[in-house]
Structure 1
Amino acid sequence: MKKIVIITIFCITIITIILFTVFGLPYIKPVKIPFALKGYEITLEDDYVILNKYVGNDKNVVIPERFLTKPVKVLGDRCFYNSLNGTPWEKEIESVEIPDSVEIIGDRCFAFISSLKSVTATNVISVGEHAFYENRALENVSLGSGLTIIKTKAFSANPHLVSFDFSNVKEIGDEAFAYSGLTNVTNMQSIEKIGARVFAETPWIYAQKGDFVIIYGSLQLYKGEEQIVVIPDGVKSIDGAFCQYSSEYKYPVDVQEIYIPDSVESISSYSFFSQDNVTIYIPDSVTSIEISYGRKWEGYDLSGIGTIVTTAGSYAEQYAKENGIPYEIVDSWEVPDT
């Protein structure tokens, strides 16, 4: 009898520890389960689950909606991305079905899975940086109407991704779809914030008409052939528009002068990549500049700026002084006719 009592107490203790670990401890701090469940390594939060790593071998993955009664809310950073000694290696995943419970896809979650063709979800809100980077077979992505944030390079370098619906998307990060195969872009009316070179080197952006490709106030690309460029009034930000990087396309030409209107408030990095001798006329309306003057990368000058022309006391003057950029102070300038 005494032995039975001891065993019973032991079992009750173990069950209590398990229940506390699953249902109690996550309210104090996240609990990382030290073994795989259903092919995943997971972390328990107070009321949801994070999938940290997929360790299964299914080609057609159906992500479970719940673990230990808690909903799966987050696909963690690098969850399906695998590396050996820092070098990506292949998982033969062809499709992924994401349940209604998942709202967040983490950074590099599906990066470098060259066999991945299709991803479907219904309730994703945010897609992390490089989340689907270089999935060279990826053709179909449907993440639901709740998607609002797409971060830096999330879908970059996917040559077979030709269409994307931006319904309800409010924020798109730098180069989010750069070097992809996009030809069809729809429902962009909800966008409030857009990064630099979002559609760089895509068929879609080169098919746009006119010398200036402007997306909700963001000048993404200059396609003209003039060496003296007057940016249209109404542009709010310059986001990589004069970047010379691709050897495949001739846009933009080597510009000599760029006149920025008073409507512009910010200039993103790489906006003048490899423009070696350009003189830029920057008004005092510009209060944010991210020009990496003097930095080199693979033989390219990351800024290319020859001279900044601006007015005394402007942010452009301060930025030029702090970053060693040649500048000239004037009272005003005359904008040439175009």
Structure 2
Amino acid sequence: MANCYNLEKITIPGTMTTFDVVRCDNLKEVNIVDGDTITESFSFSDCSGLEEIYLPKQINKISTNAFARCYSLKNVKFSKNVYCIESVAFQGCTSLTNIDLPDKLSEIGSNAFQWCTSLQTIDVPSKVRIIESWTFDGCKSLEIVNLPEDLIKIGDGAFRDCVSLERINVYDECDYIADNAFDGCDKLTICGMKGSYAEQYAKKHNIPFEKLDTTIQSVN
């Protein structure tokens, strides 16, 4: 279904395994019925009027381009079963300010949140081990990024032009950060352990470095 300019509301049965509703500019309300049949792929790309979406249990993967250029999208409620966000899934969602990623998420594709210019905070779930290329490129309002301790790689341009980003913790498991991962992040300080790869990277790229405080306060 495409270019349905007068479509404002749609209900999608829980038995559908694939569906594409694209370039429907006035679509504002989507109801995907809960079902037991796994949804294999779907897209609402270029539905510029869509403001929020609830993804039921049968959706365990956010397909490539699923919400790309949904400029009005402000709120996404994920199924707890989602394990993968494919590439370009939320590219250009310029109204998205915060997003709660599910704990089961282990894969975030390249360009997934590229140019989400209002995104302010992102907590990357503990199962994610790689930040792929250009994932958060151009997220100019991004201030807080919490990376998991088991992260091993940050790819090309992953945080390029995140001009509001001031601090990021990089833990000892990480042994590769692309040279251009933080291009344009002029306020950034990298926090990590002394003598770590993170410290070497920061020194090589003239990025301020601070020792990560790993002190755990005991609770009486």
TM-score in same-fold range (> 0.5):
yes
User: Residues 40 and 101 (structure 1 numbering): CA distance in 2 closer, same or farther, change over 3 Å?
Assistant: closer
Q: Partners of 2:75 and 2:83 in 1: how far apart?
A: 18
Asked if 2 retains the 8 angstrom alpha-carbon contact of 1:65 and 1:72, the reply is no
Judged with a 3 Å threshold, the aligned counterparts in structure 2 of structure 1 residues 178 and 242 are, in CA distance, closer, same or farther, namely closer
Which residue does 2:55 correspond to in 1?
Answer: 98
1:171 aligns with 2:135: no
Unaligned runs of 5+ in 2: 1-9, 189-196, 198-204, 206-220
Identify which range, 165-174 or 105-114, moves more after superposition.
165-174
Q: Which has the larger radius of gyration?
A: 1
Amino acid at match of 1:65: D
Q: Secondary structure at the match of 2:115?
A: coil
Alpha-carbon offset, residue 185 of structure 1: 1.6
Distance 1:164 1:250 in 2: 18
Distance in 1 separating the partners of 2:52 and 2:61: 18
Q: Give the Å deviation of 1:187.
A: 4.8
Aligned residue number for residue 202 of structure 1:
162
Local SS of the residue matching 1:188: coil
Q: How does 1:1-338 map to 2 (within 5 A)?
A: 49-54=16-21, 58-66=27-35, 70-76=36-42, 79-82=43-46, 90-121=47-78, 122-168=80-126, 169-180=128-139, 181-203=141-163, 205=165, 207-208=166-167, 236-241=175-180
* Alignment root-mean-square deviation, CA: 3.7
* Equivalent residue pairs, number: 180
- Rounded Cα–Cα distance in structure 2 between residues aligned with 1:200 and 1:249: 10
Q: Tell me which protein shows more strand as a share of its residues.
A: 1
SS in 1 for 2:99: strand
* 1: CA distance, partners of 2:179 / 2:97: 27
From the superposition, tell whether residues 237 and 92 of structure 1 become closer, same or farther in structure 2 (CA, over 3 Å): same
Q: Unaligned 5+ residue runs, structure 1?
A: 1-37, 43-47, 83-89, 219-235, 252-262, 264-271, 273-338
Q: Which structure dedicates a bigger proportion of its chain to helix?
A: 1
Residue 12 of structure 1: aligned partner:
none
Q: Which has the higher contact order (CA 8 A, sep 6+)?
A: 2
Does the 8 A contact of 2:164 with 2:187 survive in 1? no
What displacement does 1:242 show?
8.2
